[in-house]
Amino acid sequence: MKQFISFIFASFVGAAIAIMYSSKTADYTNNEPVVVKTSVQNNTLPEITKRKVTHSATSTQPVDFVAAAEAAMPAVVNITSITEYKPKNSREERFYRYFGTPKPSEATGSGVIVSENGYIVTNNHVIKEATTLEVTLLDNRKFIAKVIGKDPSTDLAVIKIEAPDLPVIELANSDESKVGQWVLAVGNPYELTSTVTAGIISAKGRDISILNGQYSIESFIQTDAAVNPGNSGGALVDTEGRLIGINTAIYAPTGTYAGYSFAVPINLAKKVMQDLIDYGEVKRGYLGVMIRDVNSDFAKANGLDVTEGIYVTELIEGGAAISSGIKEGDVITEVNGKKTNSVPQLQEQIGSRNPGDSVIVTVNRKGINKKVNVTLRE
């Protein structure tokens, strides 16, 4: 009897090993990747796709990173930012006239082609000091780019090249991305062009306090896909090769990747990109409130009935919130049906909309949920 039980156990172990081996050596050649090219009229960016991504994988059908990489890589470019030295005053100008001006400095980053007529999104910190921008495509074509606009509040920028036959990446709906979802980071770390790394979304709505300014918006997608210097401005894509975010920052006590990287969600980035293309600057809607996160201690101290949401500490005179009926002491819990459990989540939802847009804000007021129609102001 013991021998029979041992035989059965050995059979199960053997089957498990066979399944593990087959999953590691699966053939992906039947999945033909498609590089999406979106026709652009009047400088309009491609629409964000609304279909939901399936994130499940079985032991016999693992996640297909090959198709995603092949779909995304052609639209991710290498950006060389060249900065020529400019004297700060007449004394420096005279000094360097005699002793020679320092050679131009160079830095590299990444960017993503978002339209067939040459618009590329990248990070503001990649290009902000540049006097010349050189863009290299996956097929090794090189072009000089011009700056269309910059937005320090989100650390995004748009540049443009004049080139034929450009591959364009498809945009996902970052609101539908989930914690635990597989993603790929595509970029050019340490001048290692067209590098792809894989990981999962480990958090959403993350504020890491790296952007300065009263109106900065930090609601990053956090991942554990390896990102290093040079990846900035590159693509964070889902398993279908669709753009979820723009890689922007890393957690780096040593200056190199230490386990976490951060990307601007594409739903927020698209609004910034379109405004920079249309106006050269970003036009944002504002609620007109001073706010703070709610937690259990704050809720207990202030007699609140909820432990999640955004507490309205003050209303700005003449702002959208005060004219719509929002009151001090309200706890904002949703915008257009989407939960806002933290200040970054609220900033992302409002920051991705224009002045004049109407939103339904759900507030908890003394234990009662109320829906308030708010028309955002500039």
Catalytic residues: 125, 155, 232
Contact 251, 260 (CB under 8 A): yes
Alpha carbon distance 352, 325 (integer Å): 22
How many H helices and E strands in the chain? 8, 18
Among residues 182, 209, 210, the alpha carbon closest in space to that of 196 is found at 182
* Token pair in block for residue 81: 């930012």
Contact 310, 342 (CB under 8 A): yes
User: Following DSSP, what letter does each residue of 146-203 receive, concatenated?
Assistant: EEEEEETTTTEEEEE---SS---PPB--GGG--TT-EEEEEE-GGG--SEEEEEEEEE
Name the maximum alpha-carbon separation found in the chain.
97
Alpha carbon distance 178, 174 (integer Å): 9
Angle at 143 between CA 117 and CA 131, to 5 degrees: 110
